[in-house]
């Protein structure tokens, strides 16, 4: 007999049982891995080093069905619309940057179609937060009146007014689906403390109320007024606004916190943009993560006896450097006509500062 015939027949006899065994082993291992509670003791008990590292991280929030990554969220269906076709070879803006290096759009006039976006966000509720502490309550009337005229017109809006003077909140006529919600909070002796505690208050009320009442939060300064359309084009999981004083400046001139001892520290060779503390937001879970991280960083700084150079704005910039926003708003959305000369490419001024005596307002 040819030895090759013998080994060929024998191989068939022992190879089949081996393959069957391997297949069964793979099947049962998958079943066990999918069975709740079927985990080894090693997988249930993380290493001590892992526990130490996780304890140093900011508080994390569980993901929900509505709290998904931008690219995996369910895309809404829009009704039939008539609108101009976008021209691939004829961009609407060539005079300004309209996209960040991480593919986040920068929102300028002419880069969006409000009709299409309004249809996409037609079932959305927006929360607008402002802090009217002490004398800042005097800005509320103009703020609310102009918001009713220009902010998220046609959409459901909750105006969340944080104040220590609830009796002084003015009565302003509101459109359908829009309401003022007064949230009474304490005041602080220094305006810097009021500014820094905003992050803590937004975080706390996000957990208590905002997660259950609105889809997005827009957090702005109250000593301003709306002067043109501000709509759903700004909405994104996380957005920040280019500071009107630094939108064209090199990163070395940004007024980041430069002391390594601070949790807001940013080295001089890092930085994308300088973001304004007076206009930021996103989905409620993302804003809760941002405000939680900033508040924890400020608590850590306070324990070391240090205060970031621009308070909560410094911590906001640190956060947005390492958690890239999914949209960036141009200086159209935050401007001061009395301190800055309007450049020709700034076609609209949507949210502008109201003239005031800072010393008088802050110290009363």
Residues serving a catalytic function are 313
Burial environment of residue 51 by CB neighbours within 10 A (0 to 12, 13 to 18, 19 or more): exposed
Helix (H) or strand (E) holding 211: helix 211-213
* Token pair recorded at residue 87: 């021209």
**DSSP assignment of 104-158:** PBEE-TTS--HHHHHHHTTT-EEEEEEEE-GGGGGGHHHHHHHHHHHBSTTSEEE
**DSSP assignment of 328-345:** EE-GGGSB-TTTSPPPTT
With vertex at residue 327, the alpha carbon angle to CA 324 and CA 330, rounded to the nearest 5 degrees, is 115
Rounded Cα distance, 352 and 146, in Å = 11
**Chain centre distance of CA 322:** 12
DSSP label at residue 60: P
Alpha carbon distances (Å) from 68 to 74, 237, 297: 9, 9, 25
């Amino acid at each position: 007999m040819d030895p090759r015939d013998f080994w060929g027949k024998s191989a068939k006899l022992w190879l089949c049982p081996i393959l069957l065994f391997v297949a069964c082993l793979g099947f049962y291992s998958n079943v066990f891995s999918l069975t709740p509670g079927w985990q080894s003791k090693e997988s249930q008990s993380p290493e001590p080093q892992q526990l130490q590292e996780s304890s140093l991280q900011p508080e994390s929030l569980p993901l929900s069905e509505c709290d998904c990554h931008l690219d995996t969220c369910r895309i809404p269906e829009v009704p039939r619309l008539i609108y101009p076709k976008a021209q691939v070879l004829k961009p609407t803006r060539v005079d300004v940057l309209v996209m960040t290096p991480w593919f986040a759009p920068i929102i300028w006039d002419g880069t969006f179609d409000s009709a299409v976006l309004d249809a996409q966000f037609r079932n959305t509720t927006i929360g607008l937060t402002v802090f009217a502490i002490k004398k800042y309550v005097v800005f509320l009337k103009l703020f609310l009146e102009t918001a009713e005229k220009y902010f998220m017109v046609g959409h459901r809006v909750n105006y969340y007014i944080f104040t220590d003077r609830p009796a002084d909140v003015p009565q302003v006529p509101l459109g359908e689906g829009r309401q003022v919600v007064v949230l009474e909070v304490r005041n602080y002796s220094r305006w810097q403390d009021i500014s820094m505690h905003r992050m803590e208050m937004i975080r706390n009320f996000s957990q208590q109320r905002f997660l259950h009442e609105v889809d997005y939060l827009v957090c702005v300064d109250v000593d301003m007024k709306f002067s043109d359309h501000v709509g759903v084009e700004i909405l994104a999981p996380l957005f920040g606004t280019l500071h009107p004083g630094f939108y064209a400046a090199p990163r070395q001139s940004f007024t980041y916190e430069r002391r390594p001892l601070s949790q807001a520290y940013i080295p001089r060779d890092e930085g994308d943009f300088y973001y304004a503390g007076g206009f930021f937001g996103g989905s409620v879970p993302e804003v809760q993560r941002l405000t939680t991280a900033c508040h924890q960083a400020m608590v850590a700084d306070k324990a070391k006896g240090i205060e970031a150079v621009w308070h909560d704005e410094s911590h906001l910039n640190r956060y947005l450097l390492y958690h890239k926003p999914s949209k960036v708003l141009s200086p159209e959305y935050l401007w001061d006509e009395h301190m800055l000369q309007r450049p020709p490419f700034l076609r609209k001024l949507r949210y502008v500062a109201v003239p005031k005596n800072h010393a008088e307002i802050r110290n009363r």
